[in-house]
Chain A
Amino acid sequence: DGGITQSPKYLFRKEGQNVTLSCEQNLNHDAMYWYRQDPGQGLRLIYYSQIVNDFQKGDIAEGYSVSREKKESFPLTVTSAQKNPTAFYLCASSIRLRQETQYFGPGTRLLVL
Chain B
Amino acid sequence: AQSVTQLDSQVPVFEEAPVELRCNYSSSVSVYLFWYVQYPNQGLQLLLKYLSGSTLVKGINGFEAEFNKSQTSFHLRKPSVHISDTAEYFCAVSSETSGSRLTFGEGTQLTVNP
Contacts and interface: CB of A to CB of B under 8 A. Distances in A.
Interface of A: 4, 31, 40-45, 48, 58, 90, 92, 94, 96-107, 109
B106 A106 contact: no
Contacts of B9: 40
Nearest to A107: B43
B106 A48 contact: no
Given A106-B42, A106-B43, A98 B107 contact: no
Contact of B51 (A44, A99, A103): A99
Interface of B: 9, 32, 34, 36, 41-46, 49, 51, 90, 94, 96, 99-102, 104-107
B32 A101 contact: no
A92 B90 CA distance: 15
A98 B100 contact: yes
Nearest to B46: A101
A40 B43 contact: no
Contacts of B44: 43, 90, 92, 104
